[in-house]
Structure 1
Amino acid sequence: MINQTRVSEFIIIGFSSIKEVQIIFFSVFLIMYVFTFTQHVIIILVIHLDHRLHTPMYFFIINLSFLEISYVTVTVPKMLSGFISGIKTISVKGCFSQLYVFFFLGTTECFLLTAMAYDRYLAICVPLHYNGIMDTRTCIKFTGGCWCAGFLAPLLPTIFIFRLPFCGSNVINHFFCDSPPLLKLSCQNIDSIEVINFVLGSLILLTSFCLTMVSYIHIISTILKIPTKNGRQKAFSTCASHLMIVIIFYGTTIFTYVRPRTINAFDFNKVVSLIYSVITPMINPIIYSLRNNDIKQALKKMLTPVCM
């Protein structure tokens, strides 16, 4: 028999209940969070302070950095507090707020990565028309569209999940409030909501991934036409790094959300979710910015007066 008492809070299991292991996890995730946060803040400050970097590409990078600071802050601090205090409960409203904001930011990142790939396509494949097409107004429209679409897309699924009755177990086998483990806790038929999630997830993830890949295919085709070997190698190095991050991000998110039914192996799902929600935001600054010579020079210029 299902316990008909409505739950007032959820318990987020996280990764381990052993105190010694939790301390290790706390240290590792704290280092990762601080490292991620610091990298993105440095990138935002460097681009903001150096007027030479006030170009469309770096405008998109600032948005990506701000987005990923928010992205990791939605889940990691709550997880860290659970490791230290041992209190792993979260209110129902707090859980669904975390769920919505997480999907809002994740969806925005999908659209933003697509816009960034298109920006690089214009810069590399049609450089003579780039400044005419990608002006300040167009950049604002692109980024504004990404944020607005990201805000609206998860609204309906979150409302549907929020209206579900949760009258059985209140234990979430995850490290944050994610939709697959939440749906498993409902004492109502969830087939229609799973279909909505599947269709919407497929539409957002597969469409943005395909558009991003089309841009990179054209970029690679253009790079192959570069006459010098050194020029091709340098361009391929940057392009391959970007492409690797895109494939990791989309590969893990598509595996998690684009499937007709939830998979019960939540321990494996937690590892996959960790890749796109914590590890990818930590790696992105290195791939997109800190390996960039313009960013390096601007950072060196900004630090020189401090070191003197």
Structure 2
Amino acid sequence: MMKNGESEVNMEVKNETSIQEFILEVFPAIQHLGNLLFLVHLLAYLASIVGNMVIIIITWADHRLQTPMYVLLSTFSFCECCFITTVIPKLLSIFLSGRQTISFSACLTQAFFSFFLGAIIFFLMAVMSLDRYLAICKPLHYAYIMNLKVSFLLISLCYSLSFILITCLVLKVSQLLFCGPNIISHFFCDLIALIHLSCSDTRSFEIYLFFVTSFVILLSLIVTIIAYSNIVVTVLRLPSAKERQKAFSTCSSHLIVLSLMYGSCVFIYLKPKQVNRLDSNREAALVNTVVTPLLNPVIYTLRNKQVHQALRDTLSRVRL
């Protein structure tokens, strides 16, 4: 049995070696291009925020857009804004100042919100796919099945389920011991990169992380695939070639964004061995933090006449 003195010494060693801050490696190969990287990411960030905020504002300013589809879309845009805000501002400060350190508590906070909001976004994409399926494949039953009350209930479910799963995940990380090194091979506090720095036994955590990410991504992906498969079948049955072309044009643009998001996340999180591929994870994560938030407002509103009309009406009211 361990003596009390030995136990106290071990506890002191743990306290002394437990690190209090991490260093975000960001992009070491092109770190010398800090000013250029700052400008590129700043413009992408501002464009994403403005584009998504426009969707949110016109949805709630125009009563014609206060329907389940646009409520889901505005919630999706809000989560996108929050998601990139958890990552990009810190990245911008690193490019500008060169200070790459982040405290342990700030790192866990960033990890929690990035995973929490990311999970909500995936669940919302599944719900939005179902909404489109009902609108296109079951138009006569749509108003009965999907209304504002149901849409708010589904949004609440997305938030609640994500909060429970990610809170348990981050609490497990907070119990790990980190005693060096403290360099995170990423541009934000990604949990995969973080756990590789732990000197605790992380096998059970890695299993739980794999389970949570698999559940979130695969559940959303399966629902989305089923919904869009039925949409494609329904579109192919349309009598007018012009209607088919228009429907496929809209669906194809949606599928491009979905493919980018699901493809990058499957590549990052749904592989059993992560240790030797952290660099590729970093590049793939850029798709979700920079590319898709920039594309989403364009993809979901570019061909939407209702949104165009609502935007014109809102701007005309502002001028008056």
Residues 30 and 125 of structure 1: CA distance in aligned 2, closer, same or farther (over 3 Å): same
Residue in structure 2 matched with residue 153 of structure 1 by the alignment: 165
Residue in structure 1 matched with residue 17 of structure 2 by the alignment: 5
Contact map agreement 1:16 1:22 (CA 8 A) in 2: no
- The one-letter amino acid of 1:97's match is T
Cα distance in 2 for partners of 1:197, 1:130 equals 37
Equivalent of 1:88, from 100, 104, 107? 100
Relative to the length of structure 1, the TM-score reads 0.96
Residue in structure 2 matched with residue 104 of structure 1 by the alignment: 116
Residue in structure 1 matched with residue 307 of structure 2 by the alignment: 295
Equivalent of 1:164, from 157, 176, 182? 176
Residues 201 and 18 of structure 1: CA distance in aligned 2, closer, same or farther (over 3 Å): closer
Once the two structures are TM-superposed, the CA of residue 240 in structure 1 deviates from its matched residue by 1.1
Equivalent of 2:276, from 264, 270, 284? 264
Where do 1:104-123 residues align within 5 Å? Answer: 104-123=116-135
Contact map agreement 1:195 1:260 (CA 8 A) in 2: no
Contact map agreement 1:99 1:158 (CA 8 A) in 2: yes
Point out the more displaced range, 184-193 or 15-24. 15-24
Q: Deviations over 1:10-36 (max 9, x none)?
A: 011112476640111000000000000
Contact map agreement 2:264 2:287 (CA 8 A) in 1: yes
Tell me whether 1:224 sits opposite 2:236 in the alignment.
yes
Contact map agreement 1:194 1:260 (CA 8 A) in 2: no
Relative to the length of structure 2, the TM-score reads 0.92
Cα distance in 2 for partners of 1:19, 1:160 equals 32
Contact map agreement 2:58 2:314 (CA 8 A) in 1: yes
Q: Report the secondary structure of 1:11's partner residue.
A: strand
Q: Report the secondary structure of 2:102's partner residue.
A: strand
Cα distance in 2 for partners of 1:275, 1:19 equals 19
Q: Report the secondary structure of 2:23's partner residue.
A: strand
Residue in structure 1 matched with residue 8 of structure 2 by the alignment: none
Contact map agreement 1:181 1:266 (CA 8 A) in 2: yes
Point out the more displaced range, 295-304 or 46-55. 295-304
Once the two structures are TM-superposed, the CA of residue 289 in structure 1 deviates from its matched residue by 2.1
Contact map agreement 1:114 1:209 (CA 8 A) in 2: yes
Tell me whether 1:181 sits opposite 2:181 in the alignment.
no
Contact map agreement 1:12 1:174 (CA 8 A) in 2: yes
Cα distance in 2 for partners of 1:152, 1:164 equals 19
Residues 219 and 193 of structure 1: CA distance in aligned 2, closer, same or farther (over 3 Å): same
Contact map agreement 1:96 1:177 (CA 8 A) in 2: yes
Residues 304 and 181 of structure 1: CA distance in aligned 2, closer, same or farther (over 3 Å): same
Where in structure 2 are there 5+ consecutive unaligned residues? 1-12
Q: Report the secondary structure of 2:276's partner residue.
A: coil
Q: Deviations over 1:235-258 (max 9, x none)?
A: 011111111211211111111111
Contact map agreement 1:194 1:261 (CA 8 A) in 2: no
Where in structure 1 are there 5+ consecutive unaligned residues? none
Residue in structure 1 matched with residue 144 of structure 2 by the alignment: 132
Cα distance in 2 for partners of 1:207, 1:105 equals 16
Cα distance in 2 for partners of 1:184, 1:296 equals 48
Contact map agreement 1:13 1:172 (CA 8 A) in 2: yes
Point out the more displaced range, 13-22 or 266-275. 13-22
Tell me whether 1:142 sits opposite 2:154 in the alignment.
yes
Q: Report the secondary structure of 2:231's partner residue.
A: helix
Question: In percent, how many aligned pairs have the same letter?
Answer: 39
Task: Give the length in aligned residue pairs.
Answer: 307
Residue in structure 1 matched with residue 54 of structure 2 by the alignment: 42
Contact map agreement 1:81 1:87 (CA 8 A) in 2: yes
Q: How much is the aligned-residue C-alpha RMSD, in angstroms?
A: 1.7
Q: Deviations over 1:156-203 (max 9, x none)?
A: 121111111100111111100001111110112211111111122112
Equivalent of 2:224, from 176, 187, 212? 212
Q: Which of structure 1's runs of 4+ aligned residues deviate more than 4 A? A: 17-20, 305-308
Residues 203 and 156 of structure 1: CA distance in aligned 2, closer, same or farther (over 3 Å): same
Cα distance in 1 for partners of 2:111, 2:318 equals 41
Q: Which has the larger radius of gyration?
A: 2
Cα distance in 2 for partners of 1:188, 1:19 equals 31
